[in-house]
Chain A
């Protein structure tokens, strides 16, 4: 497996800059030629809730931003299954946002195989 930068986003989409910081870091890294993979973990899994209505708080929709990542050559997006289950979410890969839901063992493998990890 080739070297990659793993960006772990652990915060809910709005009310802090963490989610957007993770997104922009991913774009910047991809822009300079790094292979980037993104892991949504802990409260970060709320970012892939499709029914967000961010316009009600005058934000841009984080789900739609994630959908745009393949345009920047970032196609490996992973979501931690344990974080989804703990929060009682019903998140399925519906095709608009392409991601893989992975278990704890695979999360660990993803982290171990990465060259660098950035946590937001």
Chain B
């Protein structure tokens, strides 16, 4: 299962964090959730849309965060995002 997170609301995500088979794609305002989500979920379960992350300008804000700094988080392109959505069933969107 793939969850697309388009909002900065941790309470909408917490119900799904214990299921290791669920992966998250953060996009739009969902990218702001990354630092807090990393405290609850392993980085390998999180993908972040690269252009939205750069637009938010948070790289410089969290460059000393171990997971963000060491690039353990997968930053993906639009094409990779589409591939992920095609590969996973179901895909759920939180906004």
Contacts and interface: CB of A to CB of B under 8 A. Distances in A.
Interface string A64-101: 00000000000000000000000111100000000000
Contacts of A16: 29
Contacts of B29: 12, 14-16, 43
Please tell me the size bucket of the interface on A.
20 to 34
A14 B6 CA distance: 12
A17 interface: no
A55 to B, nearest CB: 8
A56 B27 CA distance: 13
Interface string B38-54: 00000000000011101
A87 B28 CA distance: 17
Nearest to B35: A88
Interface in B2-32: 6, 8, 28-29, 32
Interface of A: 12-16, 43, 46, 49-54, 56-57, 59, 63, 87-90
Contacts of B61: 49, 51, 88-90
Give the size category of B's interface with A: 10 to 19
Main SS class of interface, A: loop
B82 interface: no
Contact of A12 (B8, B36, B51): B8
B60 A46 contact: no
Contacts of A13: 56
